[in-house]
A and B are shown apart, each in its own frame.
Chain A
Amino acid sequence: MPLLQDEDSRGVDVTAAGRRVMAIAFFMGLAAAVSQVILVRELLAFCRGNELIIGVILSSWFLGIYLGARFNPAGDGQALERRVLVSLFMLPLAMAASVYGARAVQVLLPRTVGTFYSFGAEMALALLFTAPVSFFIGFFFPPLVSLASAEMKDRAGGAVFYAESMGSFAGGMAFSFILVAIANPLAIASGLFMAALLLIAWRGNKQFLPLVLACLAVILVSGTIEKKIFTAVWNRTHTGKLVRYQRTKYQIVEIESTGDTVSVYGDGILMYTLPDRYEARGIFHVVNALLGERRTVLLMGSGPGSLLHNLLKTGISRLSYFEHDPDLWDMVYPFRKRMYRDDVPAKLRVVPGDLRHYLAESGERFDMIISLPPAPENIMLNRFYTRDFYALCKRRLAPGGIFVTSLHGFSDYLSADRKNYIASMYRAFAAEFPRHLRSSGETIYLAGAAEEGVLPESGEALIKRYERNMPLPAGRFEREMTDNFSPSEMRAYFERTQLDYFAAVMGPLVKTVNENRDLQPGAYWKNIVLSAFREGSAFHVLVRGFPLLLVIVAVLAGIALWDIGRKHGRRRLAAGFMIFSTGIVSISVMLVMIVLYQNAHGIVYYRISLINALFMLGLALGSFAATRWERLGLTAILACLPAAAGAILASTWAGADFFFWGLLVIFSFLCGAVFPALFAAAGPGAPLESASVLDAMDHMGAIAGAILTVMVFLPLLGIRGTILLNMGIAVPALAVSCLMSMRKE
């Protein structure tokens, strides 16, 4: 039974056919949005979770769409309908296969336990698991537009784009507020498959209906199936046995047990191990030596282990422990309670939420702030190493207060990449705390105070001060803190030649290196460069040689545009160029918006779907408006695009949160309006070709935008520079549009 015709073929119900087209487009948009955010979340748990990989995943996503849209040969009505049907069914199946295939690949491509795949391998695997899913999103679009054009003529492209965008908006909202907490990918994929079956059945193809029951059954047992898969894969690829896993709003948490220890992983990255008694010994004594008579302490980043436990046994009156993921505390607490044999004492306040956001909003002050974050492997973590953060902590110190933090240090030698990496953070710290105490070693501890005379002059002075407090009260602290302890043990943190070496190397460098800032996240990028150096792979050449990537992208784009010009004429070439440019700008600015949100609020992963959804809403509204309102001309849209980007740039100075969502929708509105306006201008006579060219070049621009933003624009230019650059990229598109208008006249 044809998909898009009524049963009575003698009198086709045009309006009903149009509704079916819109329903399919809406569904595909919804499925696309849900699948994309699931893939981002799930692949981050198997790749290192940073913006580089997000950019690669998004690029791979768009590449799949590009391939699906571009390689869409002409066909008759039945062939086109088949493509739409295939896409409907294959999208959820491909999504599930990718999610669980990504887990299985760790067994099929084994790596030494505790190592990561190389960046190159991660990118290749991200492509392998993302592009086949998004391929169907590109593959369905041109045939559906072609089928719709029988009724909607030159509005077909805009109408389908609008419906798809609305579906994406709905999918993003549904994930952000409902699905994120309750469903696993297998259940979601089964649900989408079931919805596709019902959609097809709506128009008479009822032979697939029995499969709905199968889908329901899979949904019911999906939790059990997933647990078996995850546990089997984990136990084969890790040192311990998986005892607990959970998808929280923010991450996938996995807890493994090895002998008498448990290790806690977030998105596949080791966070901490409990118990960590001997691990915490050194830092505990350094902190205890600095603590003196201070009473209120804030602690972040050490994990809920020995440092927390022993600090509670000092003379402090209040310890605020920050856990960004509240579900994580609940998951780990039973293990902790067994190991530390204490309940949560009254003087411990566990604060769920982002530390920066809290400090910015609350105004509370502390006698000591201890921030021991993981390495700045992504921009979210980079925020705890910026001058902006250090300035905030300084403002939140009570009189006589001390701020203690850590940086990754070095073993005996500072390579060029490591020097730059450390220098960008150290410079940021030293700018806020010019007089400070610095330790040596593979972890460098820094202590700063807002006032003079609060800190001891040197590590040696700190040790002598601590010696006056000896012996420590018997039985108060854990045995592993006090057994065999002598304050001179702390000299390991203040080794003279290591301190001198650091000072000699860093002295000139901190004057020239860019300090790490929220809007110029240099340490995050330098950490990636250092990681690439550590791999010794070709990727190191790529991340150090920015022009190489720009050249590759320019060459590929040039070839694609030349191919379009040759096959489809100059009009479509111009349209392809314009939408390529706006494709770059739209994704680049969206990534910047994600980073801006992250800077303000912390973990963004559970909000990626919401940002995406609102972006899609803007796209939908824009395409709707451009389809219905002919006055919204292409040139006007393209002129407003850099202006909207400029407003986003201005908001980075204003710092007002409420601008964020409004600007996101306005900007995406303009991006959404481009497609229908171009579709109308580029080729009303050949809808399949026009849709194919425009959709393909739009997504090629998105690929370029995603990869260049994370690998070139943000590292080189920072956030404001990237926005400025995007304003510049929109200008040639505007120029071409003006030229086309003039030629028409």
Chain B
Amino acid sequence: MKKKSHDLMERRRFLALAGQGICLCALGGLAGAACSDTYCQSGRDYYLKPARMWKKLEGGQVKCGLCPNGCVLDDGDRGVCRVRKNIKGSLYTLVYSRIAAAHVDPIEKKPFFHFLPGSTAFSVATAGCNIACKFCQNWELSQSNPEDLDAERIGPDDLPRRARAGGSKVIAFTYNEPTVQFEYILDASAEARRRGVRSVIVSNGFIRPEAGKMLARGLDAVKIDLKAFTEDFYVNICAGRLKPVLDNLVAVHSTGKWMEIVVLVIPTLNDSPSEIRKMTSWVRKNLSPDVPMHFTRFHAMYKIQNLPPTPVSTLERCRIIAKEEGIRYPYVGNVDGHRWENTYCHGCGKMIIRRSGFYHVENGLRSGACPYCKTKIPGVWM
């Protein structure tokens, strides 16, 4: 018996020592990570600007008021979005003029189908996002810290010039969640307008309505990703919430800016007919039947790597439901060559804009109206 208890003690000691060894190694790793975080504070100061939409709290804390996350931050902390930081009791943006990606894309790729069809958009992005969708196409931008990305400085003055140099009359704030770059977009869109360049945004809509309205006033068009029409989806798949997005949709729409909505249809997660029906009915009643809705095809992306693409028949069904609910311009997206990527007049039903992918657009409109029945087609055509 003595020997057995002696053996037991030895086993415990062995396991304890092994555990201590592993903990030491783990601490070493954490120390390395902490050092890295300290190092990042010596980043580029010219990207640092005082933020807007926040308030001071007791004890050096700040509360960000940009998005519904409403992060309360201690000194040195960053928000969920990773790009707004409390520095000694004041909130700063870390990404003012910080551009990590810049490309010239066809406007249809955003997708905007009723905004200057056939034109190109100088599309820019930075790091960060205030939610975390498991199917994010640009996760390397949206789920990164700004200091982890290669970036260049494009000030509000430079942006319109760069757009024109690329042959674009439109600037698109896109790829990651652009509203986290709130201050920059306000300034850059104002400057662009002064120079005759238009601005659009491609956003998740998860922003406070007052901030959404401020942004929208400076822009020419807004495209919102309506991820789903259930809180469950937003919470479990996107780490966000649906209601604030809906509130923001109403607020932005009230500014009169051109709006289009995209719904990425993901098999079994947000594609049920009842959900689509509720969604499209809500859009018609609370926004307008003229708001185009794009039901786009999902492909394996980011963390959802092992799911088949959305069946085309599912997208077609979404489009049919949208039509039944009174949406005048529902589209099927990410299905090059599908007839429902074309635009059909809501008056006479004839095809008025033919699209073959993003790069082939035959626009048959005459002064923004159907060439056949003269119905005014909603959109921004010039």
A residues within 8 Å of B by Cβ? 71, 73-74, 112-116, 239-240, 258-261, 263, 268-270, 273, 277-279, 281-282, 410-416, 418, 480-481, 483-486, 488-492, 495-498, 501, 534-536, 538, 541, 545, 548, 551-552, 555-556, 559-560, 563, 567
Contacts and interface: CB of A to CB of B under 8 A. Distances in A.
A559 B17 contact: yes
Contacts of A269: 306
B202 to A, nearest CB: 12
Contact of A497 (B11, B103, B336): B103
Contacts, number: 174
B143 A536 contact: yes
Most central of B7, B11, B22, B303 by chain A CB within 10 Å:
B303
Contact of B103 (A74, A115, A412): A412
Contact of B336 (A281, A534, A548): A281
A484 B351 CA distance: 12
A555 B356 CA distance: 62
B194 interface: no
A278 B166 contact: no
Contact of B311 (A71, A258, A559, A563): A258
A484 B337 contact: yes
Contacts of B307: 113-114, 239, 270
A260 B306 CA distance: 19
Interface stretch (B25-33, B86-94, B246-254, B365-373): B25-33
A556 B17 CA distance: 9
A115 B304 contact: yes
B313 A259 contact: yes
A416 B149 CA distance: 8
Contact of A559 (B18, B236, B314): B18
Given A74-B3, A412-B101, A486 B356 contact: yes
Interface stretch (B41-49, B73-81, B132-140, B276-284): B132-140
Contact of B300 (A114, A412, A551): A114
B102 A116 contact: no
A495 B103 contact: yes
Interface string B86-119: 0000000000000011111100000000000000
Given A115-B304, A411-B138, 16 more contacts: A74-B3, A239-B268, A240-B308, A258-B311, A259-B313, A281-B337, A412-B175, A413-B175, A484-B337, A491-B360, A497-B102, A534-B139, A541-B29, A555-B22, A555-B24, A559-B14
Contact of A116 (B25, B269, B305): B305
B313 A485 contact: no
A71 B360 CA distance: 71
Contacts of A412: 101, 103, 123, 125, 138, 141, 175
A261 B309 CA distance: 10
Contacts of A491: 357-360
A485 B337 contact: yes
A277 B335 CA distance: 10
A278 B141 CA distance: 28
Contacts of A268: 306
22 contacts: A73-B4, A73-B7, A112-B269, A239-B267, A239-B308, A270-B308, A278-B336, A281-B336, A411-B138, A412-B101, A413-B141, A483-B338, A484-B337, A486-B356, A489-B337, A491-B357, A497-B103, A497-B104, A534-B139, A555-B21, A556-B21, A559-B18
B111 to A, nearest CB: 13
Give the 4 A-B CB pairs with smallest separation, nearest first: A114-B307, A489-B357, A555-B21, A491-B359
A412 B137 CA distance: 9
Contacts of B161: none
B306 A270 contact: yes
